[in-house]
Amino acid sequence: MESQTETHRKQKKWLRLLLFPLPLQGHVSPMLQLANLLYSKGFSITIIHTCFISSPKYPSNNPHFTFHSIPNGLSKSECSDADNLVALVSILNANCADPFRDCLVKLLSEVSDEPVAGLISDSTWEFTDSIAKSLQLPRFVLRTNNISSFLALAALALLQEKGYLPIQESQEEKPVIELPPLKVKDIPVFKTQDQEGLHQTIAALVEQTKSYTGLIWNSFEELEHGSLTDFRHNFPVPIFPIGPLHKYFPVPSTSLLSQDQSAISWLNKQAPKSVIYVSFGSVANIEKSEFVEIAWGLANSEQPFLWVVRPGSVIGSEWLEPLPKGFMEEIKERGHIVKWAPQQEVLAHTAVGGFWTHSGWNSTLESICEGVPMICHPCFGDQRVNARYVSDVWRIGVHLENKVDRFEIAKVVRKLLVEAEGHEIRDRILQFKKMANQSTQQQGSSYRSLESLVSLILSSQSQRKL
Ligand code: UDP
């Protein structure tokens, strides 16, 4: 039977999709992976983008896409001011609505032999809902976190009503009865001066979910079956768990920062499964005191380590200044520190035996796909939920729950890399790796969901023409 792609390529009339990512690493990567996937299904792709933080390689990496840039009213340094993520997202939403509408109106009015089939926006762009409705444009949404953490976000109002919020230190270890297996300290809270405002925004975004034309998840059915069932029960919208998006085929690098390839040449010299890879993603920052404990913890573990220290990620420092005196001399060749690594390549390297992560969803999924067990060290928001699922539900990692100190770190690193418990965790995550990889193959659950998504886009487009 002829595939959908072949059919509409033969029609010689490509449909165009407009994709609008949030300009943060953890959001841009899955959106560009999705763009490549939909291109492979026969759609033309236009990316509407704002503030790609550092020099944009995307147009040259993706010559098969069209790019339209819109202003966001912020300087580059303001854009990368991750210290206050909530404020950044809120300013971006306030500043980008008008330029986005203008851009969309222009694109829709252009005479083209590639009619626009719909918009796919990041779920965090609040204003795209009303703009798409006013232009009668089908609006699909990509959620770059997972289903379990979304359900926790959606329950924030209820949790507040029940008295869980604001979180009291004395209550942190208590279970959240309404959201097993979460503990109070796993509730996805964000740092902001305006908690009330944030909760209202989240409630509005959750409400919007009910009117999406379709909702795309970078996750897969086998991993989140229970949460998907709950979601379907509460949100009757067409959903498409089509992840892991980076696993269908290799796509050009989606990294916003330049990746230091010395990470790979250093790994090439290490024994199989011996290295702990440490990275806290593109946004999370840590205190100097924590940084020093991490350094000594890694040293004391006596295992080789590859450590990503993003410039500016240690609060009050440019890069490695807070590193204890004599640290690198003591470590010698046993440790390697880079500013940014080719993470997917690192995780796929045979020398890597564990990943100490902040439990961002992309990092978690990438680790699962390579069968690398994790040490979870969540910082805020959905990372807390991801970490709990990794440690307690899927049991593919260890949760660094207590205060981060050098002795605890050394113990946990050794537990993961050399002790029997670590081997058991590795065996389990290898099963998940298999499921993840099968899901994107033909007849796999994600692949089938992708085919349904393509069908829905095509049928939404034909209704739009009527
Ligand atoms: N990443 C990378 N190099 C690094 C650290 C991270 O390329 O040194 C990538 C990683 O592969 C992942 C993304 O940055 O795709 C981080 O996304 P995640 O959702 O894990 O966390 P966030 O940065 O959004 O907190």
Compute, in angstroms, the gap from residue 376 CA to the centroid of ligand 1: 14
3-state secondary structure of 416: helix
Q: What is d(CA 76, CA 320) in angstroms, rounded to the nearest whole number?
A: 23
pLDDT at 185 over 90: yes
Which residues are paired to 397 by β-bridges?
374
Residue 259 CA: nearest ligand 1 atom is 3
- Confidence grade of residue 466 (pLDDT, cut at 50, 70, 90): very low
Compute, in angstroms, the gap from residue 75 CA to the centroid of ligand 1: 22
Compute, in angstroms, the gap from residue 315 CA to the centroid of ligand 1: 19
Residue 194's pLDDT is what? 87
Q: Report residue 227 CA to chain centroid gap.
A: 18
**Token pair 């290490």: residue:** 270
Q: Report residue 108 CA to chain centroid gap.
A: 30
Compute, in angstroms, the gap from residue 285 CA to the centroid of ligand 1: 13
Within 10 Å of residue 349's Cβ, how many Cβ atoms?
Answer: 21
Compute, in angstroms, the gap from residue 344 CA to the centroid of ligand 1: 9
Residue nearest to atom 14 of ligand 1 (CA): 281
Compute CA distances 159 → 141, 154, 184, 199, whole Å.
Answer: 26, 10, 10, 11
Within 10 Å of residue 51's Cβ, how many Cβ atoms?
Answer: 23
- Confidence grade of residue 75 (pLDDT, cut at 50, 70, 90): confident
| 328 and 246 Cβ atoms separated by less than 8 Å | no
Nearest one of 83, 182, 252 to 399, comparing CA atoms: 182
Q: Span 328-345, mean pLDDT?
A: 95
Is residue 255 in contact with ligand 1, taking CB distance under 6 Å?
Answer: yes
Specify burial of residue 106 (Cβ count, 10 A radius: 0-12, 13-18, 19+): exposed
Residue 109's pLDDT is what? 93
Compute, in angstroms, the gap from residue 69 CA to the centroid of ligand 1: 23
| 262 and 341 Cβ atoms separated by less than 8 Å | no
Compute, in angstroms, the gap from residue 360 CA to the centroid of ligand 1: 7
Is residue 370 in contact with ligand 1, taking CB distance under 6 Å?
Answer: no
Residue 60's pLDDT is what? 80
Compute CA distances 144 → 7, 97, 266, whole Å.
Answer: 30, 21, 31
Q: Span 305-316, mean pLDDT?
A: 96
Give the rounded percent of residues in the chain with a pLDDT score beyond 70. 93
Specify burial of residue 75 (Cβ count, 10 A radius: 0-12, 13-18, 19+): exposed
Is residue 343 in contact with ligand 1, taking CB distance under 6 Å?
Answer: yes
Probe target for ligand 1 pocket from 336, 343, 352, 357, with the most ligand atoms within 8 Å of CB:
343
Q: Span 245-262, mean pLDDT?
A: 93
- Confidence grade of residue 213 (pLDDT, cut at 50, 70, 90): very high
- Confidence grade of residue 81 (pLDDT, cut at 50, 70, 90): low
Residue nearest to atom 24 of ligand 1 (CA): 26
Residue 14's pLDDT is what? 84
Q: What is d(CA 450, CA 439) in angstroms, rounded to the nearest whole number?
A: 11
| 118 and 137 Cβ atoms separated by less than 8 Å | yes
Residue 111's pLDDT is what? 79
Compute, in angstroms, the gap from residue 173 CA to the centroid of ligand 1: 28
- Confidence grade of residue 87 (pLDDT, cut at 50, 70, 90): confident
Is residue 25 in contact with ligand 1, taking CB distance under 6 Å?
Answer: yes
Which residues, in sequence order, are CB contacts of 361 under 8 Å at separation 6+? 26, 144, 145, 146, 149, 218, 382, 386
Specify burial of residue 203 (Cβ count, 10 A radius: 0-12, 13-18, 19+): middle
3-state secondary structure of 50: coil
Residue 174's pLDDT is what? 97
Q: What are the DSSP E strand ranges found in 186-231?
A: 214-217
Residue 4's pLDDT is what? 53
Is residue 341 in contact with ligand 1, taking CB distance under 6 Å?
Answer: yes
For 309, half-sphere exposure in the C-beta direction (CA atoms, 13 angstrom radius) is 23
Ordered strands of the 397-399 beta sheet = 335-338, 305-308, 275-279, 352-357, 374-376, 397-399
3-state secondary structure of 291: helix
Domains in the chain, CATH or no CATH each: 9-144+212-248+441-465 (3.40.50.2000), 262-437 (3.40.50.2000)
What does the mean pLDDT of the chain come to? 92
Q: Report residue 181 CA to chain centroid gap.
A: 22
What pLDDT, in 10s, does the model give residues 2-19?
Answer: 455 555 555 546 899 999
Residue 11's pLDDT is what? 54
> 373-406 in b/e burial notation, b at 16+ Cβ within 10 A?
bbbbbbbbbbbbbbbbbbbeebebbbbbbeebeb
Is residue 383 in contact with ligand 1, taking CB distance under 6 Å?
Answer: no
Q: Span 113-121, mean pLDDT?
A: 94
Q: What is d(CA 239, CA 287) in angstroms, rounded to the nearest whole number?
A: 39
Is residue 307 in contact with ligand 1, taking CB distance under 6 Å?
Answer: no
**Token pair 């067409």: residue:** 238
Q: Span 44-53, mean pLDDT?
A: 84
pTM score, whole prediction: 0.95
Compute, in angstroms, the gap from residue 26 CA to the centroid of ligand 1: 6
pLDDT at 52 over 70: no
Residue 360 CA: nearest ligand 1 atom is 20
> 214-247 in b/e burial notation, b at 16+ Cβ within 10 A?
bbbbbbbbbbbeebbeebeeebeeebbbbbbbbb
Q: What is d(CA 413, CA 275) in angstroms, rounded to the nearest whole number?
A: 10
pLDDT at 82 over 80: no
Residue 84's pLDDT is what? 80
- Confidence grade of residue 1 (pLDDT, cut at 50, 70, 90): very low
Compute, in angstroms, the gap from residue 275 CA to the centroid of ligand 1: 19
pLDDT at 77 over 80: no
Q: What is d(CA 82, CA 91) in angstroms, rounded to the nearest whole number?
A: 13
Residue 27 CA: nearest ligand 1 atom is 24
Is residue 453 in contact with ligand 1, taking CB distance under 6 Å?
Answer: no
Residue 176's pLDDT is what? 98
| 425 and 395 Cβ atoms separated by less than 8 Å | yes
Residue 30's pLDDT is what? 97
Element (H, E) at 385: helix 382-388
| 221 and 241 Cβ atoms separated by less than 8 Å | yes
Compute, in angstroms, the gap from residue 339 CA to the centroid of ligand 1: 12
pLDDT at 241 over 80: yes
Residue 338 CA: nearest ligand 1 atom is 8
pLDDT at 55 over 60: no
